[in-house]
């Protein structure tokens, strides 16, 4: 849900249009197009545009500020993935723990039975071992698949955000709109 709310699957159409405006020198229009957007792509592009047009920041400062915002946005996008990573990692370990305890129970039953071991006495421990292994795998496999998919989505966002920031900060510098220049001079 978090990735959906961050526009992970939105395609970045608004950001692309704003980048076209930026490249055409329509600085104010580009920033206005992104001002109320909640997608990570749009938020980073706006931060890069604001940094690039901030007279207090040189090129290195604009890059540093844009990088700081990008790291923060990507960290927010990755929130929740640790839980999936934990489930994918711990599921097989819990299954293995159950396997070991089940085998211990089976061998205890075998020891207590002495020379006349009954296969039915072993079945409970073996059943426990197999069941917990299957349960651990049943939890880990979907968690691992989901984690891999969500990480690929976040990686795609990262690439899109990096591309936008590079185009803004290192592409043809946008010529500020006249209104933007007048407002800056008044400040």
Query: Is residue 37 within 8 Å of residue 43, measured between CB atoms?
Result: yes
pLDDT at 8: 63
Check whether residue 92 and residue 70 sit in a common domain: no
pLDDT at 180: 41
Query: Is residue 164 within 8 Å of residue 15, measured between CB atoms?
Result: yes
Query: Is residue 30 within 8 Å of residue 19, measured between CB atoms?
Result: yes
Along the 187 residues of the chain, how does pLDDT read in single tens digits? 666 656 666 666 778 888 888 888 888 999 998 888 878 888 889 999 999 989 998 989 999 999 999 999 888 888 888 888 998 999 889 888 888 888 888 888 878 877 777 777 777 778 878 888 888 899 899 999 999 988 988 888 888 889 889 889 887 444 444 444 433 333 3
pLDDT at 42: 86
Check whether residue 108 and residue 169 sit in a common domain: no
**How do the residues of the chain divide into helix, strand and coil, expressed in percent and rounded to 5?**
80, 0, 20
Check whether residue 11 and residue 57 sit in a common domain: yes
Alpha-carbon torsion angle 26, 160, 42, 177, nearest 10 = -10
Query: Is residue 140 within 8 Å of residue 109, measured between CB atoms?
Result: no
Check whether residue 104 and residue 18 sit in a common domain: no
Check whether residue 72 and residue 8 sit in a common domain: yes
Check whether residue 50 and residue 138 sit in a common domain: no
pLDDT at 47: 92
Check whether residue 127 and residue 182 sit in a common domain: no
The whole model's pTM is what? 0.67
Q: What is the domain range of residue 41?
A: 2-79+156-186
Check whether residue 57 and residue 22 sit in a common domain: yes
Check whether residue 87 and residue 65 sit in a common domain: no
Residue 25 backbone class (left: φ over 0; alpha: ψ -120 to 50; beta: rest) = left
Check whether residue 24 and residue 113 sit in a common domain: no
Domain count, the chain: 2
Check whether residue 31 and residue 52 sit in a common domain: yes
């Amino acid at each position: 849900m978090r990735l959906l709310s961050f526009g992970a699957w939105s395609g970045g159409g608004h950001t692309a249009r704003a980048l076209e405006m930026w490249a055409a020198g329509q600085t104010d229009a580009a920033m206005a197009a992104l001002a109320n957007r909640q997608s990570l792509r749009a938020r980073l592009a706006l931060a890069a545009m604001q940094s690039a047009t901030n007279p207090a920041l040189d090129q290195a400062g604009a890059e540093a500020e844009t990088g700081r915002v990008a790291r923060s946005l990507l960290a927010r996008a990755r929130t929740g993935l640790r839980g999936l990573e934990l489930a994918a990692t711990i599921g097989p370990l819990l299954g293995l723990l159950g396997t070991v305890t089940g085998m211990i129970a089976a061998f205890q039953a075998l020891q207590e039975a002495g020379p006349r071991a009954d296969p039915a006495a072993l079945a409970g421990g073996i059943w426990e071992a197999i069941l917990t292994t299957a349960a651990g795998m049943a939890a880990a496999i979907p968690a691992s698949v989901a984690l891999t998919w969500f990480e690929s989505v976040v990686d795609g966002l990262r690439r899109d955000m990096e591309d936008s920031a590079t185009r803004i900060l290192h592409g043809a510098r946008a010529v500020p709109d006249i209104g933007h220049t007048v407002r800056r001079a008044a400040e």
